[in-house]
Structure 1
Amino acid sequence: MDERNLKTIFTVCVDLNIHANMIQTSALMLSFCFDSNEQKLKQLRACLKDSFSVKYNEGLQLFTIRHYQNGSEQDFIKGKKVLVKQGSRSTMQFVLS
């Protein structure tokens, strides 16, 4: 997932007015969360299908804790499956199903 690919994907997102709430990238893939909108998802998939393999999940929750302290998320994620956990010094984000 080089800079040209990221530019292509994010240009499509800008054109469709899709705001990413969480982004995770690696050498091979880009994952991002945005607010549920069936029409925008359909348009995004149509724009990217020729150049990228697009997979998606629906019905997920993005949970963000600002001023995170270790263990403070336990009550909120209890009984849910954590698909992605991403953090910095002061913020943690979880994608939950």
Structure 2
Amino acid sequence: MMTGYQKNFRRKLVGFGVLLAFFIFAVLSFSVFKAVAQTHGEEGSPPLSQDASADSKASDPGVIKFAFLAASIAVGVGSLGAGVAVGYVGAAAMGAIGEKPELA
């Protein structure tokens, strides 16, 4: 027979395992996408002059992809944090209404 503490611990452990599996899947997906998306250059394109390469440093695709990656990670982590917070607040609200139905 499991106690309440053991059930709660097991539930948290399973939740942590699912979250860890999701992050591992995400990291592996980004690695695969990076490996697949690599190009070997355009064979027919002429090399850039010094002036053109100085202007294109601001729009270098190698830098821009990491900017988008950083933005997506920031939004994803923020969304996960907001979801966890809403979950805890919702659970507390349901507990309070369960104890005192006149609050609703």
Structure 2 length-normalised TM? 0.22
Point out the structure with max Rg over C-alpha: 2
More strand, by proportion = 1
Q: Which has the higher contact order (CA 8 A, sep 6+)?
A: 1
Structure 1 length-normalised TM? 0.23
